Structure 1
């Protein structure tokens, strides 16, 4: 076995009602003056008010930043950093979906004033220090609460990543009750996103692919595969919601250390150009990327198939890998997600541009189990069209 490194969040608190402990946790970890980072949509749910109440009871002074946008642009991050510095905050809490958590990570890093956003793009560029950080996810999909990654939209459509262990939070608080009110289409898209994290982590060609990540990926899929349709169609089912949130976190731990690959690389241009939510972008290209990979590297999918779909255990070899791709496509369909790029009002003339832009995601493509050329990317987009 080769050497590897495995990092994750220092403390994880999981359980129904865990948000009620936010105040006492923040007082011991973050300090008296904090920036709470969230998005405007979440404010209407009452969750932000519950968080503010818990923090107020603990005697914590809160500055609220609730302007996070999906696929956050640089300007949003820099605005939040400026507010944090003006308020002389001592720490940061991120509350919401992946975008809010990603912004919170970067605010905690940049508000110190040692590094700039431009200087930390890439892998291992961010060195710290950062302010104390607590992350509280309200979707079961991104796993951002346990990943050292923050994704930023730069320019009109391109996305860049900040990847460094410094971004891992001090505490991740996972409360399944916060996901009960998620609409079905968001539950579906974020759930498929989490499954993609586990699948790509398990199959990753990254040198740091390791036994811990593979074990976590399998456990994540065993939890989420039976739960996702219940969570989508019966959103207040406590067990399904808990399994999805825990599975999402385990998948996050997996891909945080064994990075994702071509599914994400081909999904990013869809989000950048057409503002398709990240989870749905992944779902649209997932079966087509996996079919491409399975032609020459079927092993990971042969191994994963019965963990997600036990009936596929009766099949062997390439037949099982092919059936795995079909079953994933059917699962997405059963979740009610759009299935084709044309369903998203993407013109066929856009496909070459998407393929060209996907090739810029070298950080991700290098992890794919099968090498992808621009011609291959175009063929995958055509298959997805």
Structure 2
């Protein structure tokens, strides 16, 4: 066994309805003045209302920042930091999807240390300290509540990431009640996103690919595949919703330590240039990236296949089982009603060379792919997905 490191969020609470008692669970950690980071949709639905009422009843002052957009920009992050600084906050509460949680992570970092953001981009460069941080996901996809990564859009659609254990939160709270109103399309896309995390973590070429991540990825894929269709087509099923949240978290723990690769590298430009939601971006390129990577990852894909669909264990040949797994993933995406081609998501064919060029900037991800990806390879993958 080769040496490895494994880091994750130290505190986890998994219980439906638990955010209504957030003051008792996290109030002392967050302190008297809390920066809430969320998005307009959460504000409109009032998903945060019970948590905020509980915190305010316990005497906490809330500075609410509810301007986080999909693929959040640097300007959005800096606005949240400015609000938190003006309010003299003592802790940060991230409440929402991956975008809100990513902004919350970096807001906690910048408020706690006044660190230079431009020196923090990359792996292991953010030093901290940060303010106390609690994250409450409202989608079952990103696993951001247990990852040391935050992604921000800078410039003309370019995405940059901070990857550092410093921004792992102190506590993650998984409350299935918060996901019951999630629309079917969002449930589907974020669920596929979580599956991608599990698949890429298990097969990652990163030197820190490790037995714990592989175990978590396998369990995550089992939970997600068994519950995603119920969650999409019967969104009121609380057990399925809680299982999806847990599956997303386990996949997040896996890829936080055995990082993702080319699927994400090719998905990011779709979000940056065309504002396609991250989960859908992953779903659109997943089958083609896996088919490209198959010659170098067949044993891993074959090992994962029965966790996705137990009947695939009957396919004796390793390569055939891996191919059947890829086909089954594509079929699931279609059953869930997600767009199947880049053209279906509004991407013009003329944009494919720019997408390929932008994907090459994601060096921290591409290095983890079992099969190296050149710009010509990326263009061929996008073309096949178009």
TM-score bracket, shorter-length normalisation: over 0.9
Number of aligned pairs?
A: 385
**Within 2, Cα distance between the matches of 1:226 and 1:50?**
30
**Within 2, Cα distance between the matches of 1:337 and 1:220?**
21
**Within 1, Cα distance between the matches of 2:156 and 2:376?**
24
Aligned-residue offset at 1:176: 0.8
Query: How is 1:164-179 mapped onto 2 (pairs within 5 angstroms)?
Result: 164-179=164-179
Query: How is 1:87-236 mapped onto 2 (pairs within 5 angstroms)?
Result: 87-236=87-236
Aligned-residue offset at 1:160: 0.3
**Within 1, Cα distance between the matches of 2:54 and 2:45?**
16
Native 8 Å contact 2:121 2:161 kept in 1: yes
Native 8 Å contact 1:267 1:285 kept in 2: yes
Q: Deviations over 1:238-281 (max 9, x none)?
A: 11111100000000000000000000000011111110000000
> Counterpart in 2 of 1:346?
347
Native 8 Å contact 2:93 2:133 kept in 1: yes
**Within 1, Cα distance between the matches of 2:239 and 2:302?**
28
Q: Which runs of 4 or more aligned residues in structure 1 lie more than 4 Å from their structure 2 counterparts after TM superposition?
A: none
Aligned-residue offset at 1:114: 3.1
Q: Say which SS state the counterpart of residue 63 (structure 2) adopts.
A: strand
> Counterpart in 1 of 2:288?
288
TM-score by length of 1: 0.99
Query: How is 1:261-340 mapped onto 2 (pairs within 5 angstroms)?
Result: 261-315=261-315, 316-340=317-341
Aligned-residue offset at 1:348: 1.1
Aligned-residue offset at 1:121: 0.6
Native 8 Å contact 2:221 2:247 kept in 1: yes
**Within 1, Cα distance between the matches of 2:134 and 2:48?**
15
Query: How is 1:242-253 mapped onto 2 (pairs within 5 angstroms)?
Result: 242-253=242-253
Residue 357 in structure 1 maps to residue 358 in structure 2: yes
Native 8 Å contact 1:201 1:255 kept in 2: yes
Q: Say which SS state the counterpart of residue 373 (structure 2) adopts.
A: coil
Supply the RMSD in Å over aligned alpha carbons. Answer: 0.8
Q: Say which SS state the counterpart of residue 112 (structure 1) adopts.
A: helix
Aligned-residue offset at 1:113: 4.2
Query: How is 1:251-262 mapped onto 2 (pairs within 5 angstroms)?
Result: 251-262=251-262
**Within 1, Cα distance between the matches of 2:347 and 2:307?**
34
**Within 1, Cα distance between the matches of 2:140 and 2:346?**
27
**Within 2, Cα distance between the matches of 1:104 and 1:357?**
26
Q: Structure 1: which 5+ runs fail to align? A: none
Native 8 Å contact 1:26 1:55 kept in 2: no
Aligned-residue offset at 1:26: 2.6
**Within 1, Cα distance between the matches of 2:63 and 2:196?**
35
Native 8 Å contact 2:21 2:51 kept in 1: no
> Counterpart in 2 of 1:86?
86
TM-score by length of 2: 0.98
Aligned-residue offset at 1:346: 1.4
Worse-matched range after superposition: 340-349 or 212-221:
340-349
> Counterpart in 1 of 2:36?
36
Q: Deviations over 1:2-24 (max 9, x none)?
A: 11000000100001111122111
Residue 24 in structure 1 maps to residue 24 in structure 2: yes
**Within 2, Cα distance between the matches of 1:240 and 1:34?**
32
